[in-house]
Structure 1
Amino acid sequence: MRGIIFAFLAGGFITLQGVANSRISQDIGPWQAATVTQLTGFLMALLIVMIVRDRKWKNFKGVRPLYLTGGSFAAVVIYGNIFGIKEIGVTLTIAVILIAQLAITFLIDGKGWFGVLKQKMRLPQFIGIGMMIAGVVILKF
């Protein structure tokens, strides 16, 4: 249940962050907005780590270097959100982002990439993503 609650919160905050970034970018530019967002996100995460007093820093050296680049993807995510919201609106942008996320997760689960347990994609999963795509088409018109 906690996983569902936190996933729901994450989805809500992704939307709020996209709208805030879009507004910030009107004043200072999209890449500058991405920079501010990354910086404030880093500071908030650092504050939380300090409050929680999680002592797992020693495990940092065991992380594969490829995975340490994951945070750099956020710059593209933020810019894509800003540009999408400006061009096609919040609802359609978030809908397309969700479809893109599902498509990539299909690949990751189906191929077992990044060490995740390989999952077999069945007809219901394909019907679900097809319905989401159909929903976006309906939203567009």
Structure 2
Amino acid sequence: MRGLLFAFLGGALITLQGVANSRISQSIGTWQAATLTQWTGFVTALLILLFIRDRKLREFKQVKPLYLTGGALAAIIIFGNVTAIQQMGATFTISALLIAQLSLTFLIDSKGWFGVAKQKMQAPQFIGILLMVAGVIILRF
């Protein structure tokens, strides 16, 4: 239950962040908005790490180098979301984003990539993704 709550919170905050970044980028530019968002996110995470969590900084050495690209991916994600929201609006952008996320996680789960336990995907999962695509098509037209 707690995981579901965090998932809903994260989804809501991603939407709010996308809209806020779109507004910021209209004033200062898209890459500037991405830079500002990354910077404020870094500062916030660092403060939480130092003051609220257990302050175990040595564990950073255990992170595989491939996974260190997450921050770089976030900059591209921000740019993509800002650009899409400006061109298509928030509803269609977030709908398409969710389909892309589900499709990739479907592949990751079914192939067992990145050390994730391999999951057998069946017809209900395929149908779910197809229904989402149909929903986005309906939203668009």
Q: Gaps spanning 5+ residues in structure 1: where?
A: none
Aligned length: 141
Q: CA deviation at 1:53?
A: 3.5
Identity, % of aligned positions: 67
Q: CA deviation at 1:52?
A: 1.5
Which whole-Å deviations, capped at 9, do the CAs of 1:85-137 have from their partners, x for residues lacking one?
11110000000000000011011101100101000110000000000000000
Distance between the aligned counterparts of 1:3 and 1:86, measured in 2?
31
State the match for 2:121 in structure 1: 121
SS of residue in 2 equivalent to 1:119: coil
Normalising by structure 2, we get a TM-score of 0.97
Q: CA deviation at 1:58?
A: 1.2
State the match for 1:61 in structure 2: 61
Which whole-Å deviations, capped at 9, do the CAs of 1:4-24 have from their partners, x for residues lacking one?
111110000000000000000
CA RMSD of aligned residues (A): 0.8
Q: CA deviation at 1:66?
A: 0.6
State the match for 1:44 in structure 2: 44
Normalising by structure 1, we get a TM-score of 0.97
Q: Gaps spanning 5+ residues in structure 2: where?
A: none
SS of residue in 1 equivalent to 2:21: helix
Distance between the aligned counterparts of 1:38 and 1:30, measured in 2?
12
